[in-house]
Amino acid sequence: MNTSRPNAGAPVLVYDGDCAFCTRSVRFIERRIARRPLIVAWQRTDLQALGLTREMCETAVQWVGVDGEVSSGHRAVARTLIHGRSGWWVLGRFILLPGVDAVAAVAYRWVARNRHRMPGGTAECVLPASERSTEASGPDGSGGATLRIPDTMEE
């Protein structure tokens, strides 16, 4: 799913902060990709300011580009890799190639459905969002304030 909405500042990657597998995945990005977007858990950000809904974020990781373009799932992963440059952009572009894009979509959906079985996954990952705790938790398990996206952000 790609939609457009103005987003001043820097690209943003929005993930499920209640899912241990998802959190480990973004930690991988933080360790290995020097030029990365702002990475936030959907439970701790102003989704409306980003042009996102809770339903979108419960379904897949979301990328909101500087131009406001929203990409979901495997395309959000690809956009993150492309933005990362230093070699990762090649993999990101590859994911978006015709044919590969379709396979990547199927693979992403399979991983999303089975994330509780993946390395780092927990039972929390399999619960529907309506059954999860209502208090937002960060990667370290702590609660926290909602992240507000300012009108302008330096990249």
Cβ atoms of residues 54 and 129 within 8 Å: yes
Specify if 40 maps to a domain. Answer: yes
Specify if 138 maps to a domain. Answer: no
H/E run at residue 22: helix 20-32
CA atoms within 13 A on the CB side of 134: 0
The predicted model gives 83-99 an average pLDDT of 93
State the residue range of the domain holding 52: 2-131
Residue 29: beta bridge partners?
none
- Please give the structure tokens belonging to residue 97: 């190639």
Q: How many domains does the chain have?
A: 1
Mean pLDDT of the chain: 79
- Examine the pLDDT at 8 and tell me if it is beyond 60: no
- Please give the structure tokens belonging to residue 53: 């809904």
Specify if 37 maps to a domain. Answer: yes
The predicted model gives 41-69 an average pLDDT of 95
Specify if 146 maps to a domain. Answer: no
The predicted model gives 56-65 an average pLDDT of 95
- Examine the pLDDT at 98 and tell me if it is beyond 50: yes
pLDDT digits (tens, 9 = 90+) for 13-51: 999 998 888 999 999 999 988 888 999 999 999 999 999
Specify if 51 maps to a domain. Answer: yes
Specify if 139 maps to a domain. Answer: no
Specify if 148 maps to a domain. Answer: no
**Which SS3 state, helix, strand or coil, does residue 147 take?**
strand
The predicted model gives 66-83 an average pLDDT of 95
Instruction: Work out whether the CA dihedral 44, 50, 54, 60 comes out positive or negative.
Output: negative
Residues 36 and 3: their CA atoms lie apart, in Å, by: 21
Specify if 49 maps to a domain. Answer: yes
